[in-house]
């Protein structure tokens, strides 16, 4: 089992693997690895993964057999495990707990050779439906506080050697620091202005249009004013909403449309760049803890898309500052103009 360790100097949590089997040579710099010939996520290979926890399948097809369009399975090499207790405890001055949580793989399509943006809108909507269903299910486990959904596209963005289109879901026993910061700031802003900080920003951006990348009835895609990365994108609902899982079918389809559009633009103008995509949602509702309930409505869920086309340097690591050589207005113009 892994451990969750808290860095007492920054409040940062780290999942530390408990292993003695690591050799330093495993970490020598390697050129790209060759993709294995067998893929456990392809249709007909269902037996190669742990049994599925969710799937959208053709009527009449059997669980863990072909006939699915989206399939969610536990990760066979999970960072966190669902069995056991947290046992949060001190280690002298340090602070730790057991690595409890869920680590699942969302297999976005049975087809190995597609990328997320090549899916048709109804297929992409099924992926979003699967995410929603997993969040609602995991919300029932009282040990869990947060469901993190993210995608690593390309080796430079941390994807492993298997190129089958997948996303990761990690359900955590603590709300991540990056989310806590956003929750706190949006709550403070709401208390002061009685408005949502994301809604205010969105109104300004839709008014000026200089950082707008795409828009439809329910969603907008922007180049954030303080983009950390060249060609960074932010996708958010135009109507205030704190919970991804509250989306109905029409917004889900419109989210699929805009994601397909902006990921297509990114692939075209940057020639299929590596990127990380993540859902930034409110924490799971915990009726017995009044605190999060009081702030959940101040937050405004969104999706971050971070192209990994520049290297992170000591500057970013040392300071938490970023350096971005591409003005977001220019990035938006390139992306918006790309059809």
The DSSP letter of residue 146 is E
Q: Which is nearer to a second copy, 66 or 327 (CB)?
A: 327
Backbone angles phi, psi at 234, to 5 degrees: -125, 125
The DSSP letter of residue 40 is T
Cite the beta strand spans of 94-232 per DSSP E: 94-98, 101-107, 146-153, 166-172, 212-215, 219-222
The binder of a second copy chosen from 128, 278, 282, 292 (CB under 8 A): 278
Q: Which of 279, 267, 282 is nearest to 304 (CA)?
A: 279
The binder of a second copy chosen from 134, 307, 332, 336 (CB under 8 A): 307
What span, in angstroms and rounded, lies between the C-alpha atoms of 279 and 147? 9
Q: Which is nearer to a second copy, 110 or 283 (CB)?
A: 283
The binder of a second copy chosen from 76, 204, 246, 294 (CB under 8 A): 204
Backbone angles phi, psi at 20, to 5 degrees: -120, 10
The binder of a second copy chosen from 70, 119, 124, 148 (CB under 8 A): 148
The binder of a second copy chosen from 274, 286, 293, 296 (CB under 8 A): 274
Residue 162 beta carbon to a second copy: minimum distance, rounded to whole angstroms: 14
Q: Does 71 bind a second copy (CB under 8 A)?
A: no
Q: Does 32 bind a second copy (CB under 8 A)?
A: no
Q: Does 276 bind a second copy (CB under 8 A)?
A: yes
H or E stretch including 193?
A: helix 177-193
Q: Which stretch binds a second copy (CB under 8 A): 59-67, 121-129, 248-256, 308-316?
A: 308-316
What string marks each residue from 230 to 259 as x (binds a second copy by CB under 8 A) or -?
xx----------------------------
Q: Does 290 bind a second copy (CB under 8 A)?
A: no
- 83-142: contacts with a second copy (CB under 8 A): 91-94
Residue 313 beta carbon to a second copy: minimum distance, rounded to whole angstroms: 3
Q: Does 1 bind a second copy (CB under 8 A)?
A: no
- 72-91: contacts with a second copy (CB under 8 A): 79, 91
Contact 5, 95 (CB under 8 A): yes
Written as one string, the DSSP assignment of 209-273 is -TTEEEE-SSEEEE--TT-SSTT-EEEEESS--S-GGG--HHHHHHHHHHHHHHHHHHHHHHTS-
């Amino acid at each position: 089992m892994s451990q969750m360790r808290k860095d007492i100097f920054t409040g940062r949590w780290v999942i530390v693997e408990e292993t003695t089997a690591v050799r330093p040579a495993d970490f020598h710099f390697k050129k790209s690895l060759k993709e294995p010939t067998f893929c456990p996520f392809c249709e007909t290979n269902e037996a190669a993964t742990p049994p599925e926890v969710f799937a959208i399948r053709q009527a009449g097809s059997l669980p863990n057999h072909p006939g699915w369009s989206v399939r969610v399975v536990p990760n066979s090499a999970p960072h966190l495990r669902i069995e056991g207790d947290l046992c949060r405890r001190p280690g002298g001055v340090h602070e730790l707990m057991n690595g409890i949580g869920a680590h699942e793989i969302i297999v976005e399509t049975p087809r190995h050779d597609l990328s997320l943006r090549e899916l048709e809108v109804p297929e992409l909507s099924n992926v979003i439906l699967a995410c929603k269903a997993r969040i609602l299910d995991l919300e029932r486990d009282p040990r869990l506080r947060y469901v993190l959904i993210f995608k690593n596209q390309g080796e430079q963005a941390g994807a492993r050697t298997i190129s089958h289109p997948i996303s990761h879901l990690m359900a955590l026993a603590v709300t991540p620091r990056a989310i806590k910061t956003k929750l706190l700031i949006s709550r403070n802003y709401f208390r002061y202005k009685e408005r949502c900080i994301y809604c205010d920003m969105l109104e300004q951006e839709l008014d000026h249009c200089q950082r707008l990348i795409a828009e439809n009835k329910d969603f907008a895609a922007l180049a954030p004013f303080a983009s950390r990365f060249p060609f960074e994108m932010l996708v958010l609902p135009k109507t205030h909403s704190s919970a991804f899982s509250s989306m109905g079918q029409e917004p889900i389809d419109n989210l699929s449309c805009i994601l397909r559009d902006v990921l297509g633009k990114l692939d075209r103008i940057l020639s299929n760049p590596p990127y990380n995509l993540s859902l930034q949602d409110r924490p799971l509702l915990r009726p017995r803890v009044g605190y999060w309930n009081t702030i959940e409505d101040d937050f405004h869920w969104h999706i971050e898309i971070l192209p990994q086309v520049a290297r992170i340097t000591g500057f970013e690591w040392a300071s938490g500052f970023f350096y971005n050589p591409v003005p977001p207005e220019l990035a938006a113009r390139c992306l918006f103009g790309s059809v």
